[in-house]
Amino acid sequence: MLALEIQNNLSKFPHCLLLTRVGNFYESYFEQAIEISRILNIKLTSRRWGGGRVPMCGFPLLHMDKHLKVMVQQHKRFVAVCEEFPKYTSLGAREFERRVVRVITPGTLIDESFLNQYENNYLLAVSVPEGDSAKNPTLGLAWIDVSTGEFYSKRSSHESVCDDIARIGPREILLDKIMETQTSHPTMKVVTEESSVVSFVVPSHSVDGIDNLSAQSPPSTNQSQSSSNAYNPETANVSDEIVTAQDGSPATPFLYTPEETYAIDLLTTYLRANLLEHMPILSQPNREDTESRMQIDSHTIKALEIRENMREGGVRGSLMSSVKRTITSSGTRLLARWLCSPSTSIQEINARQSLVAFFHSRPHFRADLLVFLAKAEDASRIVQKFLLGKGDPSDMLALTATVDIWSGIQQRVNQEREMEYLERRSFSASEWVSLDTLMNRMVNLEDLAQRISLAVERPVSPQYDELAEDADLESDENSGTLRAEWRYGRVKFGIKIKPEFSKTLLELNNTLRDLWEQKAKMEERLQLKYDAPSLTLRSSPGQGMHIHLAKAKRDQKKIAADLDFVSISETGTTRSYFFQDWAQLGQKIFTTSNAIATSEKEAFEMLRQEVNLRAPSLRRNARVVDELDVTLAFSQLATDMNLVRPSIQEDTTYNVINGRHPTVELGLLTSGRVFTPNTVALTPSSHFHVITGPNMAGKSTLLRQTALVVILAQSGSFVPADAAALGIVDKLFSRVGAKDDLFHNHSTFMVEMLETAEILRRATPRSLVIMDEVGRGTTVKDGIALAFATIHHLVSVNRCRTLFATHFHELSEMLGYKDGAPSGQGVFENVAFYCTTVDEMESGTFSYSYRLRPGVNRDSHGLKVAQLAGMPPLAMAVAKNVLTALKSDTTDDAKELASIGRRLTGSPSEIYLT
């Protein structure tokens, strides 16, 4: 039977590793067992089946999460989990029904212990229109974190889908099945480049996902969607989940484009096929508006090390790690989203910054609010667990505790306002606007918390229950008392519903109390009557209800003579009897206990439904508290790192006085060094700066800090500078630090050109571009030609704000730079020239000042850096000789160069003498 079930499941889920529950183990059979035992490093064995032996392996239930992490996260394998469910035949025999309850894939993790609480685990669906991508450039995106329920959709394009994917950072990407064969399709290329896990889905085209999207919507409304392929929420019942948009502002009704609807369909179809019995009730996706978010291209997200550092891939050294002051896991997830997707709405940025300023000037208030946040649970995740049918009583209590914390926050805010009103002569209502607007978005959920608190009995302490469970398990095995069995049942369920929750529970509990009293009296009576102090009334699976004598020799005399007692077992010291009266009473206790357990479970189920119904409001409050956490964190950051509030403007100004690189500054601080601040002023009349200077003198740092300041400002944070005025940046591009992409057959130079080409195609007058050493990956002449052409395009076509760092100082001449005339004199009026330099000592040593000054620096000091890097003396001597010869020879004619080479070839001693 088991073999047949397994073979059925293997053929139903051919793309998965199948794990079948057998008792307290998950097992794998046949060929897959060989693979699983190898991946998990567990013992491979075999068992007899159908006249032969088949390979098998298995592990205890307890190890499931550990092994899932290896299979799903490390090896990117899909795992089908087959559970067993007991059922009884008509003859009363127990059998097991086994069915696959879930397929676990990298993008569909729910509450696995290895999920990183501080990061989103997104599953992204990309819908690609049929036909020519040039004629039909619009794509649809839908992405969800199944573990938190955060669900979004967006319209995208062939051009920007790569950036969207880099920003979202999905663990798994879904495409229409028809794309599977279209390997040369541009979107296929992008998707396979950005994600190692791509799954193909046959869309249902029923927009069935929307069915699930709004469980709170009347069925008629949902059904009306099924007929059309475009979802129009104006006709749907919009749940309060989306009364605020993703950015927290009041939402306008969402109108999903056909492409988005298609992506939502792909996503929900896939979720249903994999989550199976754990399919959650989904809320409607928050629609992300492309216009209101700064677009950061995919290379820039990586190159600026916003989320993780490029070298090791971890968060250490990233912008995120330097600025993170959030204390909740969901706040940290929101911070990552804000940093990867800064706003372009001045109103929104100002609202966030006003909150930061508000908290910044009230450290005591900030400290108090942080105390609340430190105790709050990850409500979005808990709510989602309930929606997935998984939340347990401890989650229920955690949720109530969190609702209480939310109320506490609201009270503390009100108290602060009152105090300020009373204490300050000039109370400023305008200062309070941002916080009031945020807090007003919260829904009062005290009734739900109260209902749960009144229903669920809080354990005295967690240890109490753990101890009880251990003790009961022990007594259950060794002595098997009835009390132990009942208590174990309760402890296993993990919670007690208060008897007052319902009339039935109250009556059942009263009955049980009476029965326990009767049992105590019966025990006492029997002990006295038979002069047997060691007599107890017990129950065990093997002996049923029985009387137990712990000291049989002493206590059994009178009992043995009584015909009502039937001896059922004995050991050297103990003896057990069957006794009719106790059997009847015990059975009643057992039945009543079971009835209570069933009622408690029903009551819990009822509460679970209530939580599910209030999920949108719970999520909404959680989101408010996340925003509170991030803005409190930004104000803490402003204090810690001495940041200032930037002024955000509509124009294309970029004026940052004494700006600093937040991550480099922190890194230097740890080694006791100080960061040298620099001013960058890009104005309409000077919006293109060419930066020259020696190696290692801080050019790249300056470029990156220029971009990071914008990201921080438009995320709502203060910025590392003395003062800053910033015109909104619509798109941020960088061409810094290229490396080979041999996997995609791209050399370093090709990567450089691909990135440059994309910037020239996409940058607008409101964009900010940073470019470091364009053209360095080829010959000097080709490099200079390409670098000049790039500048030409950026200045005359894109007209965007740009910092362009280069070692090709020849460019400055080509651009008409003359010493002392840093800008406005050359080919382009808007190009200005700045450089970094080194301070040379009389002793021949030098130091970097990192100070930016107007002008062009033609000396790269490359040899000095090479010496610092520990180049062998002989190599340094040869390099110096070559440099001197090259400087004196004005030609690069092949013959001349050959003669330089010949002159400098010799033994080491000759070279040192040259």
Ligand X SMILES: Nc1ncnc2c1ncn2[C@@H]1O[C@H](COP(=O)(O)OP(=O)(O)OP(=O)(O)O)[C@@H](O)[C@H]1O
Q: List contacts with ligand X (CB under 6 A).
A: 664, 668, 675-676, 693, 695-701, 850
Task: Between 178 and 883, name the residue whose CB sits nearer to ligand X.
Answer: 883
- Measured between alpha carbons, how far is 701 from 705 in angstroms, rounded to an integer? 6
Nearer to ligand X, 93 or 869 (CB): 869
Q: Measured from the CB of residue 791, what is the shortest distance to ligand X in angstroms?
A: 18
Nearer to ligand X, 583 or 657 (CB): 657
Cβ proximity to ligand X: between 156 and 837 the closer is 837
Q: From the CB of 823, what's the least distance to ligand X, in Å?
A: 21
Q: What's the min distance (Å) between Cβ of 869 and ligand X?
A: 11
Ramachandran class of 524: left when φ > 0, alpha when ψ lies in -120 to 50, beta otherwise: alpha
Residue (655 or 692) nearer to ligand X, CB: 692
Between 560 and 668, CB nearer to ligand X = 668
CB of 177 to ligand X, least distance (A): 47
* Cα–Cα separations (whole angstroms), residue 489 to 474, 604, 666, 728: 14, 15, 55, 62
- CB atoms under 10 Å from CB of 408, counted, come to 16
Would you tell me the crossing angle of helices 346-360 and 363-375 to the nearest 10 degrees?
100
Report in angstroms the alpha-carbon separations of 766 from 432, 630, 654, 678, 788: 32, 27, 11, 23, 22
Q: Which is nearer to ligand X, 319 or 625 (CB)?
A: 319
Nearest-approach distance from CB 713 to ligand X, in angstroms: 19
Instruction: Tell me whether residue 155 or residue 699 sits nearer to ligand X (CB atom).
Output: 699
d(CA 271, CA 104): 10
Nearer CB in complex with ligand X: 612/676? 676
Q: For the CA atoms of the chain, what is the radius of gyration?
A: 36
Which of 589, 430, 580 minimizes the C-alpha distance to 512?
589
Residue 675 tokens, joined:
């960061």
Nearest to 291, CA basis, from 346, 369, 366, 364: 346
Q: What is the 3-state secondary structure (H, E, C) of 693-723?
A: CCCCCCHHHHHHHHHHHHHHHHHCCCECCCE
For the record, the structure tokens of 375 come out as 């105790």
Closest approach, Cβ 26 to ligand X, in A, equals 50
Task: Please name the residues in contact with 810: beta carbons below 8 A apart, sequence gap of 6 or more.
Answer: 784
Q: Residue 434 or residue 701: which is nearer to ligand X going by CB?
A: 701
Residue-wise DSSP of 447-507: HHHHHHHHHEEPPS-HHHHHHHHHHHHHHHHHT--HHHHHHHHHHHHT-EE-GGG-HHHHH
Between 109 and 708, CB nearer to ligand X:
708
| Shortest distance, position 837 Cβ to ligand X, whole Å | 11
CA 812 to chain centroid: 45
Phi, psi of 191 (to 5 degrees): -65, -45
Looking at the Cβ atoms of 799 and 864, the one nearer to ligand X is: 864
Per DSSP, helices labelled H in 87-160 are none
Sheet containing strand 198-201, strands side by side: 198-201, 172-176, 122-127, 138-145, 150-157, 286-288
Least gap, CB of 312 to ligand X (angstroms): 16
Strand-strand pairing, 846-848 and 768-772: unpaired
- Angle at the Cα of 154 from the Cα atoms of 149 and 157, rounded to 5 degrees: 145
Residue 774 CB, nearest approach to ligand X (Å):
13
In the complex, least distance from residue 693 CB atom to ligand X, rounded to whole angstroms: 6
Sign, CA dihedral 731-732-735-738, equals negative
- Select 403 or 852, whichever has its Cβ closest to ligand X: 852
Separation of alpha carbons 454 and 865, rounded Å: 71
At how many degrees (to 10) do helices 2-12 and 30-40 cross? Answer: 80
Q: Which of 352, 628, 597 is nearest to 492 (CA)?
A: 597
Q: In whole angstroms, how close is the CB of 668 to ligand X at the nearest point?
A: 6
Burial of 901 (0-12, 13-18, 19+ CB in 10 A): exposed
Round to whole Å and give the CA distance between 315 and 474.
46
CB 702 within 8 A of CB 852: yes
- Nearest distance, CB of residue 303 and ligand X, angstroms: 13
CB of 708 to ligand X, least distance (A): 13
Cβ proximity to ligand X, 618 vs 641, nearer residue: 641
Nearest to 833 by CA among 845, 842, 824, 844: 824
Shortest separation between residue 687's beta carbon and ligand X, angstroms: 21
Token code pair at residue 164 = 């969207």
Q: How far is the CB of 311 from ligand X (least distance, A)?
A: 13
User: Tell me, what DSSP letter sits at residue 71?
Assistant: I
CB-closest chain residue to ligand X = 698
Instruction: Give the residue with the Cβ less far from ligand X, 233 or 662.
Output: 662
What are residue 868's phi and psi, to 5 degrees?
A: -60, -35
Cβ within 8 Å of residue 879, ≥6 positions away = 863, 866, 871
- Least spacing, CB of residue 852 vs ligand X, in Å: 8
3-state DSSP assignment of residue 22: strand
Judged by CB, which is closer to ligand X: 316, or 553? 316
Amino acid at 818: K
Closest separation between CB of residue 323 and ligand X, Å? 18
| Smallest separation (angstroms) from ligand X to the CB of 11 | 57
User: For ligand X, which is the closer residue by CB, 61 or 669?
Assistant: 669
Instruction: Please say which residue, 325 or 861, places its beta carbon nearer to ligand X.
Output: 861
* Phi–psi pair at 149, nearest 5 degrees: 85, 0
